[in-house]
Amino acid sequence: MTWVPTGLRARLVVAFTLVAVTASAMVAVLGYQLVRRELLDRVERGAVTDVRETLSKITLPVGVGDVVWPSDTTVTDEDLGALVGALEAPERAVIVTYGDLRETSFGARFTMSDVPDQLRWQAAQRLVYQRLRFKDQPWLLIAAQIQRTGYEGVPRPTGLTAYVFLPLRDEERVLSRLLTALLQAGVITLTIALTVALLSARRVLLPVRRLGAAARALGSGDLNVRLPVRGRDELAELTATFNETAAALEDTVGELRTLESMSRRFVADVSHELRTPLTAMTAVTDMLAEDAEKLPDDAGQAMRIVVREIDRLRVLVEHLIEISRFDAGAALLRRETVDVGDTLADSLQVRGWADQVKLTVPVGLAFSLDPRRFDVVVANLVGNALSHGAPPVLVTAAPTADGLEVMVRDHGTGIPGHSLPYIFDRFYKAGSDRARSMGSGLGLAIARANAELHGGRLTAERCDPGTLFRLRIPRP
């Protein structure tokens, strides 16, 4: 798996280091090549000049003709040895040929088999030289056809060919030391580049990290966070923009919070103000409802509608008051250890639902919860199942590994799938047939709020048939 730097700091360091290393490598390679070429060229020029001057001063043996020819028998091994001696120098090896005759420097490790064929052919025409390696050591080979100016003043080849081997060990050592020095310089450059890159990245990214920390603080609700603006570069402009945005956001959120607070207070005040006349109206309608059967049909029907709508309004006001407590953060949890089976049975019994609901609870199941708020949750779920579902309605409670689970299921048509994500929203009613139902549209929202106050969860899911509500409360 190839590692790819993802952080901005890592990418800056890698990019800076790559640029520095690439530039250093290019300078080192070019410098090494220039020094190497200049050094070897200087050695070659000096050696070639020396050999050429030596050859020009050599006194050649005189044969029977105007020029010594390879077939001339007057050229002896001693003559060739004299030529070898004239060309010899410390650490230099010489081979001189004349026809089939060969003469080599004393102790020389070279033979004619070590001379490339192409160089032999070229040496018959002019002075040539070539660098080669022999037994893992560098050598410079200079080859030349010895010429002699005859009586006519025209240089002509003599048939004598000299091959001079010059060692390049010293030059190779110099180049090796130069390469080592360049590598050391590269390591030093890499270290300096990494150090500078880290320092530069830290200096460049410090404002970015501050911006990130400030953005996280802003996201967590700290709207007073501001950053000092330093310099006039792009990061300074970004910091100034962040401060302006934070200030605008603080003003907007402040206005929204004020409006939200006013809205909650308004709902709470209206609900409390409606409670007193509703109490009086409920008392009067209860008295009138007893005589509704004695009234004429139209008057009796109107009275029953008034009673039903006043009861619906009373439920709505009670739910609004309860919701306003949650919004204001005034809802308190008062836990006590209760028998879950008895609590569920009492909740059903007091509302007259005991005969309509099948209750299944293990005997002696005790749990720590707020009985009043638990009753509100159960009442909302069972009432919803009885009003909008179909029998049988099942209520089941059981302990779990981390707490308590209560399930309420009906066997009706079920809540439509597209409505499931919204049934716990305030005033949401699934289906047009429920728009004028007795419910306030706040029951399930209140039930979920009470479940969350316990630290639990309330969920709904479709069954075949019906709907299943699942309440999970963890142990305190």
Phi-psi region of 96 (alpha: psi -120 to 50; beta: other; left: phi over 0): beta
Specify the higher pLDDT residue, 179 or 76.
Answer: 179
Rounded distance, CA 127 to CA 345, Å?
120
| pLDDT at position 150 | 62
Check which CATH number belongs to the domain holding 443 and give it. 3.30.565.10
| pLDDT at position 294 | 67
Q: Please tell me whether residues 356 and 452 are part of one structural domain.
A: yes
Buried b (16+ CB within 10 A) or exposed e, 281-304: beeebeebbeebeeeeeeebeebb
Is the pLDDT at 283 greater than 80, yes or no? no
Each residue of 185-206: pLDDT tens digit? Answer: 888 888 888 888 777 777 777 7
For residue 200, is it within any domain? Answer: no
Is the pLDDT at 36 greater than 50, yes or no? yes
| pLDDT at position 123 | 83
CB 369 within 8 A of CB 403: no
Check which CATH number belongs to the domain holding 256 and give it. 1.10.287.130
For residue 181, is it within any domain? Answer: no
DSSP letter at 231? S
Strand positions, DSSP E, 196-246? none
Average pLDDT of the chain to the nearest whole number: 81
Name the domain boundary from 141, 175, 209.
175
For residue 220, is it within any domain? Answer: no
pLDDT interval class at 11 (50, 70, 90): confident
Is the pLDDT at 464 greater than 70, yes or no? yes
Specify the higher pLDDT residue, 48 or 231.
Answer: 48
Each residue of 23-32: pLDDT tens digit? Answer: 888 888 888 8
State the pairing for strand pair 393-399/403-409.
antiparallel
pLDDT interval class at 7 (50, 70, 90): low
For residue 264, is it within any domain? Answer: yes
Average pLDDT of the segment spanning 288-317? 74
| pLDDT at position 471 | 93
Each residue of 365-423: pLDDT tens digit? Answer: 999 999 999 999 999 899 888 888 888 999 999 999 989 999 999 988 888 888 888 88
Find out whether the peptide bond into 465 is cis, omega within 30 degrees of 0: yes
Is the pLDDT at 57 greater than 90, yes or no? no
Rounded distance, CA 428 to CA 419, Å?
9
For residue 103, is it within any domain? Answer: yes
Q: Please tell me whether residues 358 and 407 are part of one structural domain.
A: yes
Name the domain boundary from 140, 155, 175.
175
CB 461 within 8 A of CB 416: no
Q: Please tell me whether residues 299 and 345 are part of one structural domain.
A: no
| pLDDT at position 18 | 81
Rounded distance, CA 344 to CA 355, Å?
13
Check which CATH number belongs to the domain holding 74 and give it. 3.30.450
Average pLDDT of the segment spanning 167-182? 87
Tokens of 218: 């802003």
Q: Please tell me whether residues 246 and 340 are part of one structural domain.
A: no
Over pLDDT 90: what percentage of the chain? 14
| DSSP H/E element including 359 | strand 357-360
CB 93 within 8 A of CB 110: yes
Each residue of 227-270: pLDDT tens digit? Answer: 888 777 777 888 888 888 888 888 888 887 777 777 667 666 66
Amino acid at 74: T
Q: Please tell me whether residues 316 and 348 are part of one structural domain.
A: no
Surface-to-core class of residue 63, CB atoms within 10 Å of its CB (0-12 exposed, 13-18 middle, 19+ buried): middle
For residue 50, is it within any domain? Answer: yes
Q: Please tell me whether residues 314 and 403 are part of one structural domain.
A: no
pLDDT interval class at 99 (50, 70, 90): confident
DSSP string, 114-143: GS-HHHHHHHTTS-EEEEEEETTEEEEEEE
Average pLDDT of the segment spanning 33-55? 85
| pLDDT at position 64 | 37
Name the domain boundary from 327, 359, 390.
327
Q: Please tell me whether residues 322 and 381 are part of one structural domain.
A: no
Domain containing 257: what range? 235-327
Rounded distance, CA 144 to CA 340, Å?
116
Each residue of 109-165: pLDDT tens digit? Answer: 788 888 888 888 888 778 888 888 887 888 888 888 887 766 666 777 777 888 888
Residue with tokens 């004393």: 106
Q: Please tell me whether residues 291 and 368 are part of one structural domain.
A: no
Q: Please tell me whether residues 112 and 261 are part of one structural domain.
A: no
CB 278 within 8 A of CB 319: no
Return the bridge partners of 409, or none.
394, 468
Q: Please tell me whether residues 18 and 110 are part of one structural domain.
A: yes
| pLDDT at position 440 | 66
CB 394 within 8 A of CB 407: yes
| pLDDT at position 94 | 86
Q: How many domains does the chain have?
A: 3
